[in-house]
Amino acid sequence: MAQRKKSGERQKEIILAAVKIIDKDGIHALTLQSIANELGISDVALLRHFRSKEEIVEALAQKVFFTTVITEDPSTNHDLEASIESLFRRQFSEFEAWPEATSIFFHEEIFREYPSVREWFLVRRTERHRRLVRMVKAGQTAGKVRNDLDADIFATVLMGSMRMAVMEWRESGRNGSLVEKAAPMADMMARAIEIKNGRLENESN
């Protein structure tokens, strides 16, 4: 007789299966039966771990937005370019490790059908934006970032560039490496805002 899996382990499998279904066939294909079929268990067994499909969607939203969404690395805050590259590299690594999770970020139907998922997304996005603004302002205080830079707008641009890179990667069938884009993207961002040897970077060339 097969050993019954622990509740936490089975819940994780259920979440992974649900994300896989959404990535492949969309949110409307997600049912208790489709998840049960993906795992080779009965829908009754599924309900031992989650009370409803809505509870599964809530759990996967929390896992996607709070496990795969990376904020800045405090250990590199003294070097803005290193901080930006670390952010790109770590975030892209997470997405490459769990590519199906990116479907949650680009599936507008999920946000419309499940307002709580949108709330989790907005909470995490706002948190990242605020941290990026603080990172830039710290660089300005240290004299490493040009003072005429609007930290709020820069944070929006940086997050937008990351989103676009991931979207293009998805549309290409996830060909190539996202991580390999981290260094050149960070270099481009840093060149636009950093001060080198007392002069604006874009004036030193």
119/197 same-domain check: yes
134/177 same-domain check: yes
Structural domain containing residue 180: 68-203
Q: Which of 145, 162, 103, 136 is nearest to 111 (CA)?
A: 103
Element (H, E) at 22: helix 7-25
pLDDT for 201: 46
Q: Is residue 31 part of a domain?
A: yes
Instruction: Give the strand pairing for 199-200 and 195-196.
Output: antiparallel
Distance CA 14, CA 69 (A): 20
9: alpha, beta or left? (left if phi > 0; alpha if psi -120 to 50): alpha
Q: Is residue 78 part of a domain?
A: yes
Q: Is 177 helix (H, G, I), strand (E, B) or coil?
A: coil
pLDDT for 68: 74
Report the chain (205 residues): mean pLDDT per 10 consecutive residues: 65 96 94 96 91 94 81 58 88 93 88 89 90 89 90 95 95 94 92 62 46
Residue 30 near residue 83, CB atoms below 8 Å:
no
89/141 same-domain check: yes
The CATH number of the domain holding residue 140 is 1.10.357.10
Q: Nearest 5 degrees, angle CA 137-CA 138-CA 139?
A: 90
The CATH number of the domain holding residue 24 is 1.10.10.60
pTM: 0.81
Main-chain dihedrals φ then ψ at residue 136, nearest 5 degrees: -65, -45
165/143 same-domain check: yes
